[in-house]
Amino acid sequence: MTVALIGNKDVDKQCVIYLNTDKGEQFAAGIAGELAEGEVESEVIEGLRSKREAQKKKLFDELGIGDFDIQKVFEKCIGCHGCSKICPACYCHVCFFDSGGEEHDSNYYETELEKKGYVRVLPDPIFYQLVRLFHVSMSCVGCGLCADVCPVNIPLWAVALKTGEAVQKAFDYLPGRDIEEGLPITTFVPEGFAGAG
């Protein structure tokens, strides 16, 4: 069920409820009101959506993350991991970066890569931030807690939202749309790669 309150001036007297499933229809059976077919779209919602997109673009531009250089954004990171400790979307029980689970330190990997002629290993704080983005950007709600605790004032929530938009679009994923739908990074669908390459 979806309760449409946006743009409703008489919300204290009446509202529109969209019954999205059979269970919703069963729940609403017998309730007084008019039944009609329709989608949860209106000019008011579309206007708010457009306004929000414009505000988001303006904010990203002000923060310098419109088309951001990931290394530049995260080069100030001191690796305190405060952002992951406070993040409500972070779902790991034990963070890999706090577990001491690495087999070797980064110098070992850098030496091995150099021998083979590959690029250098990313500095630990940047590597950490990239992994964190990979984990939480799709589900970030922009609460801002991560930026609040960041001692070097990196706008982490804005970076996660910006990254999440691209990932959500690529995977046709919307957080919270369906509780049965797994995160794209935790779901492997071989058909998703059909025709690739």
**How do the pLDDT tens digits run along the chain, 197 residues long?**
777 776 667 777 777 777 778 887 888 888 777 766 666 666 767 777 788 778 877 877 776 666 667 778 888 898 888 998 898 888 777 777 776 655 556 667 667 767 776 665 566 788 888 888 888 888 888 888 999 999 998 888 888 888 888 878 888 887 777 778 877 777 666 665 544 44
Task: Evaluate whether residue 30 is within a structural domain.
Answer: no
Residue 186 amino acid letter: T
The whole domain housing 113 covers 67-193
60 belongs to a structural domain: no
Q: How many domains does the chain have?
A: 1
> Which secondary structure element, helix H or strand E, spans residue 136, and what is its range?
helix 124-136
Q: Angle at CA 101, nearest 5°, toward 96 and 105? A: 105
Contact at 8 Å (CB) between 84 and 95? Answer: yes
Instruction: Give Dmax (Cα) for the chain.
Output: 75
Cβ atoms of 93 and 76 within 8 Å: the answer is no
Query: Whole-structure pTM over 0.85, yes or no?
Result: no
In a domain? residue 28:
no
Q: For residue 54, which phi and psi values (nearest 5 degrees)?
A: -65, -40
Phi/psi of residue 189, nearest 5 degrees: -120, 105
Is 2 in a helix, a strand, or coil?
strand
**Pick from 102, 151, 152: nearest CA to 127:** 102
Assigned domain for 51 exists = no
Is there a domain that residue 1 lies in? no
Residue pair 8/15 in contact by the 8 Å Cβ criterion: yes
| pLDDT for residue 118 | 66
The answer to whether residues 131 and 97 touch, using CB atoms and an 8 Å cutoff, is yes
Q: Does 82 fall in a domain?
A: yes
* 26 part of a folded domain: no
Residue 97 forms part of a structural domain: yes
